[in-house]
């Protein structure tokens, strides 16, 4: 599959983390999602109904990030990838969850978990 829809850098505030202070104060999470699907019908019809509406996808992903807290970003990534695969046209999805404010006592550029799932 060579067709992809990519949503990069989606930011949302959540209360995920192992530590109580992470859940109490919350922090920003950044999500990247790549959907692999056949976009031939959408390209030919020029109709949004023939593709995955990335605005609606963003709404659903943000709802997960801002929703029920989890301990691990691995769990969060799994929930997000399920959202991506909810549309039967999606054959594979890759989700990366970035936690730029992770409680690491050293200077770092990013902490992230990436998951890829296929049908």
Residue 111: closest CA among 28, 24, 2: 28
- Digit-by-digit pLDDT tens for the chain (119 residues) are 589 999 999 999 999 999 999 999 999 999 999 999 999 999 999 999 999 999 999 999 999 999 999 999 999 999 999 999 999 999 999 999 999 999 999 999 999 999 999 98
Catalytic residue annotation = 99
- What number does CATH give the domain 4-118? 3.30.1130.10
Return the pLDDT at 1.
59
Question: How far is the C-alpha of 70 from the C-alpha of 49, rounded, in Å?
Answer: 33
**Which tokens belong to 11?**
């930011």
Whether pTM exceeds 0.85: yes
* Backbone dihedral angles phi then psi of residue 79, each to the nearest 5 degrees: -65, -40
């Amino acid at each position: 599959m060579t067709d992809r829809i990519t949503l990069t850098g989606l930011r949302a505030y959540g209360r995920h983390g192992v530590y109580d202070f992470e859940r109490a104060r919350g922090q920003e999470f950044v999500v990247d999602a790549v959907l692999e699907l056949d976009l031939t019908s959408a390209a030919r019809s020029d109709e949004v109904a023939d593709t995955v509406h990335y605005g609606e996808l963003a709404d659903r992903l943000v709802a997960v990030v801002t929703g029920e807290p989890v301990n691990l970003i691995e769990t969060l990534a799994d929930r997000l990838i399920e959202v991506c695969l909810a549309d039967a046209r999606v054959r594979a999805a890759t989700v990366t969850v970035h936690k730029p404010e992770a409680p690491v006592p050293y200077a770092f550029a990013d902490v992230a978990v990436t998951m890829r799932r296929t049908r």
